[in-house]
A and B are shown apart, each in its own frame.
Chain A
Amino acid sequence: MAFISKHENLYDAIMRDSSFEIQAPCGGNHRCGKCKIRVMQGNLPIHDAERRHLSEEELLLGVRLACAHPDCEDDCVCEPYREHVSYTICSIHEETFESVKEEGFAVALDIGTTTIAAVLIDLYEGKILREKTFLNPQSRYGADVITRIAQTAKIGIEPLQSILVKKIEKELASFDGYAWKRMCVCGNPTMMHLFAGVDPSSIGQAPYRCTLDTYKELPGQQLFPNWKHRFVIQLLPPISAYVGSDVVMGLYSTQIMKQDKTKALIDLGTNGEMALYHDHRLYVTSAACGPAFEGGNMSCGSGAVSGALCRSGYDEKWHYETLEQAPVCGICGSGYLSIFHQALDNGLLEPDGYLAKELFFHPKAVVNQKDVREFQLAKASVIAAFLCMCRHASISVSAIEELYIAGGFGKYARPQDLLALGILPDKLSGRLHVLGNSALRGTCQYAIHQDIESIEDIRNRSECLLLAGDELFTQLFMEHMMLEICNEN
Chain B
Amino acid sequence: MNELMEEIKTLMPKGKMNEVNALVERALKEGVPAQTILQEGLLQAMDIIAKKWADGTAFIPEVLITARCMNAAIPLLEPYLLEEKEAERPVVVIGTVQGDLHDIGKNLCALMLKAKNFKVIDVGVDVGADKFVEAVREYQPMVVCLSSLLTTSMGNFKVVIDALQEAGLRDRVKVAVGGAPITPAFADEVGADIYTEDAVALADTLLQYC
Taking a contact as CB atoms under 8 Å apart, the answer to whether A373 and B104 are in contact is no
Chain B residues lying within 8 Å of A353, measured Cβ to Cβ, are: 59
B108 to chain A minimum Cβ distance, whole angstroms, is 10
Chain B residues lying within 8 Å of A204, measured Cβ to Cβ, are: 99, 150-153
Taking a contact as CB atoms under 8 Å apart, the answer to whether B100 and A352 are in contact is no
Interface string of A459-476 (1 = CB under 8 A from B): 000000010110000100
Taking a contact as CB atoms under 8 Å apart, the answer to whether A201 and B152 are in contact is yes
Main secondary structure on A side of the interface with B: loop
Interface string of A361-373 (1 = CB under 8 A from B): 0000000011001
Stretch at the interface among B26-34, B74-82, B180-188: B180-188
A482 at interface by CB-CB < 8 Å: yes
- If A146-B152, A204-B99 touch, whether A477 touches B126 (CB-CB below 8 Å) is no
Stretch at the interface among A24-32, A107-115, A303-311: A24-32
A426 to chain B minimum Cβ distance, whole angstroms, is 20
Chain A residues lying within 8 Å of B126, measured Cβ to Cβ, are: 206
Q: What is the CA–CA distance of A30 and B61 in the complex, to the nearest angstrom?
A: 28
B192 at interface by CB-CB < 8 Å: no
Taking a contact as CB atoms under 8 Å apart, the answer to whether A468 and B101 are in contact is yes
Chain B residues lying within 8 Å of A201, measured Cβ to Cβ, are: 152
B162 at interface by CB-CB < 8 Å: no
Interface centre among B126, B151, B181 (most CB of A within 10 A): B151
B125 at interface by CB-CB < 8 Å: yes
Q: What is the CA–CA distance of A30 and B107 in the complex, to the nearest angstrom?
A: 26
Taking a contact as CB atoms under 8 Å apart, the answer to whether A206 and B60 are in contact is no
- If A147-B151, A149-B152, A204-B99 touch, whether A474 touches B60 (CB-CB below 8 Å) is no
Q: What is the CA–CA distance of A204 and B61 in the complex, to the nearest angstrom?
A: 28
Tell me which of B103, B181, B186 contacts A469 (CB under 8 A).
B103
Q: What is the CA–CA distance of A149 and B151 in the complex, to the nearest angstrom?
A: 8
Q: What is the CA–CA distance of A335 and B60 in the complex, to the nearest angstrom?
A: 25
Taking a contact as CB atoms under 8 Å apart, the answer to whether B61 and A482 are in contact is yes
Interface centre among A147, A352, A478 (most CB of B within 10 A): A478
Interface string of A51-75 (1 = CB under 8 A from B): 0000000000000000000000000
Chain A residues lying within 8 Å of B64, measured Cβ to Cβ, are: 478
Taking a contact as CB atoms under 8 Å apart, the answer to whether B99 and A205 are in contact is yes
B57 at interface by CB-CB < 8 Å: yes
A481 at interface by CB-CB < 8 Å: yes
Chain B residues lying within 8 Å of A399, measured Cβ to Cβ, are: none
Chain B residues lying within 8 Å of A370, measured Cβ to Cβ, are: 56
B98 at interface by CB-CB < 8 Å: yes
B40 at interface by CB-CB < 8 Å: no
Interface string of B171-186 (1 = CB under 8 A from A): 0000000000101011
Tell me which of B99, B107, B151, B186 contacts A474 (CB under 8 A).
B107
Chain A residues lying within 8 Å of B62, measured Cβ to Cβ, are: 352
Q: What is the CA–CA distance of A299 and B56 in the complex, to the nearest angstrom?
A: 16
Residue of B nearest to A369 (CB): B56
Chain B residues lying within 8 Å of A208, measured Cβ to Cβ, are: 101
B65 at interface by CB-CB < 8 Å: yes
Taking a contact as CB atoms under 8 Å apart, the answer to whether B152 and A205 are in contact is yes
Tell me which of B56, B59, B183 contacts A29 (CB under 8 A).
B183
Tell me which of B59, B102, B103, B181 contacts A373 (CB under 8 A).
B59
Residue of A nearest to B125 (CB): A469
Q: What is the CA–CA distance of A29 and B57 in the complex, to the nearest angstrom?
A: 28
Residue of B nearest to A31 (CB): B183
A161 at interface by CB-CB < 8 Å: no
Chain B residues lying within 8 Å of A469, measured Cβ to Cβ, are: 101-103, 125
Q: What is the CA–CA distance of A26 and B151 in the complex, to the nearest angstrom?
A: 9
Chain B residues lying within 8 Å of A206, measured Cβ to Cβ, are: 98-101, 125-126, 153
Chain B residues lying within 8 Å of A474, measured Cβ to Cβ, are: 103-104, 107
Interface centre among B65, B99, B152, B185 (most CB of A within 10 A): B152
Interface string of A111-147 (1 = CB under 8 A from B): 0000000000000000000000000000000100011
A153 at interface by CB-CB < 8 Å: yes
Chain A residues lying within 8 Å of B186, measured Cβ to Cβ, are: 29
Taking a contact as CB atoms under 8 Å apart, the answer to whether B185 and A30 are in contact is yes
Taking a contact as CB atoms under 8 Å apart, the answer to whether B61 and A478 are in contact is yes
A150 at interface by CB-CB < 8 Å: yes
Q: What is the CA–CA distance of A353 and B150 in the complex, to the nearest angstrom?
A: 26
Within 8 A of A (CB), among B70-95: none
Chain B residues lying within 8 Å of A207, measured Cβ to Cβ, are: 101
Residue of B nearest to A471 (CB): B103
Within 8 A of B (CB), among A9-46: 26-27, 29-31
Chain B residues lying within 8 Å of A146, measured Cβ to Cβ, are: 150-152
Further 8 A-B residue pairs, CB within 8 A, beyond A206-B99, A474-B104, A474-B107: A30-B185, A142-B151, A146-B151, A150-B152, A206-B125, A369-B56, A373-B59, A466-B101
Q: Which residues of A contact B (CB under 8 A)?
A: 26-27, 29-31, 142, 146-147, 149-150, 153, 201, 204-208, 352-354, 369-370, 373, 376-377, 466, 468-469, 474, 477-479, 481-482
Q: Which residues of B contact A (CB under 8 A)?
A: 56-57, 59-62, 64-65, 98-104, 107, 125-126, 150-153, 155, 181, 183, 185-186
